Amino acid sequence: MQVHNLSEHPSLLNNFIAELRDQKIQKDRQRFRRNIERVGEILGYELSKTLNYCEKSVETPLGTSTEQIIKDDVVLCSILRAGVTLHNGLLNYFDNADNAFISAYRQHHENPESFNIIVEYLACPDLNNKTLILADPMLATGRSMIETYEALTQFGTPKDIHLVSVIGAQHGVDHVSKFFGDKARLWIATIDKELNEKGYIIPGLGDAGDLAFGSKLQN
């Protein structure tokens, strides 16, 4: 799998990542959501360079212009709830994309280090011959990304798959790389080296869903 780690080439993106990690700035939920959204816009722009294009004639007030526009039919899928803000950033750039939403969460056992990924709500258009962009801000173990994709297979087979994350752990990147092989590309803002014993990214940024939308009660 091709991994496009944007942090390998410093850019304005690093400013947004720094603010996302900063405990003081994290207290401003609106700022946190907007930074995730802006990262999504940048990742979407970089991803768009690999899509297929066709020519379109556009009439201006003074003549005709020929432009290259996206030919692919794009479907954006985000994993609820943390993925909503990242989804919005991608949707800001892929205006005409179809959209899918899926809930996937960790169900912990008595041993806090052991958990299953539970997939419940799922809404998705036809994926046959589409370009699927699967978005989840945090790529920790990689299990949510994989089980989400497996749940989507009932809706068809996309011709191209792009995975989009803000921060990942090397373990998760390796896991999804092994699963998807040459079928997908990963677009990620930065990769951290470690996971802790509970499967959270270190140093990461904390719980992206809680930081964006407020803390939740556990079942």
Please report, for the domain that includes residue 125, its CATH number. 3.40.50.2020
Structural domain includes residue 166 = yes
Structural domain includes residue 120 = yes
What global pTM score does this model have?
0.91
CA dist., res. 105 & res. 110, Å (int): 16
Structural domain includes residue 54 = no
Residue 207, burial from CB neighbour count under 10 angstroms (0-12, 13-18, 19+): middle
Structural domain includes residue 62 = no
Per-residue pLDDT tens listing for the chain (219 residues): 999 999 999 999 999 999 999 999 999 999 999 999 999 999 999 999 999 999 999 999 999 999 999 999 999 999 888 899 999 999 999 999 999 999 876 555 555 444 455 677 889 999 999 999 999 999 999 988 998 999 999 999 999 999 999 999 999 999 999 999 999 999 999 999 999 988 889 999 999 999 999 987 765
Count of structural domains within the chain: 1
Distances (CA, A) of 216 to 70, 82, 124, 190: 39, 12, 26, 26
Structural domain includes residue 67 = no
Structural domain includes residue 158 = yes
Q: Please report the pLDDT score of residue 120 as a whole number.
A: 77
Q: How many CA atoms lie within 13 A of 90 on its CB side?
A: 31
Our separate counts of H helices and E strands in the chain read 7, 12
CA dist., res. 196 & res. 179, Å (int): 22
Structural domain includes residue 65 = no
Q: Domain residues for 205?
A: 2-49+73-213
Rg (alpha carbons) of the chain, rounded to whole number: 18
Strands 194-195 and 160-169, bridge-based pairing: unpaired
For the chain, what's the residue count?
Answer: 219
Structural domain includes residue 153 = yes
Helix 143-152 / helix 170-180 crossing angle, nearest 10 deg: 30
Tokens 């899509």 sit on residue: 51
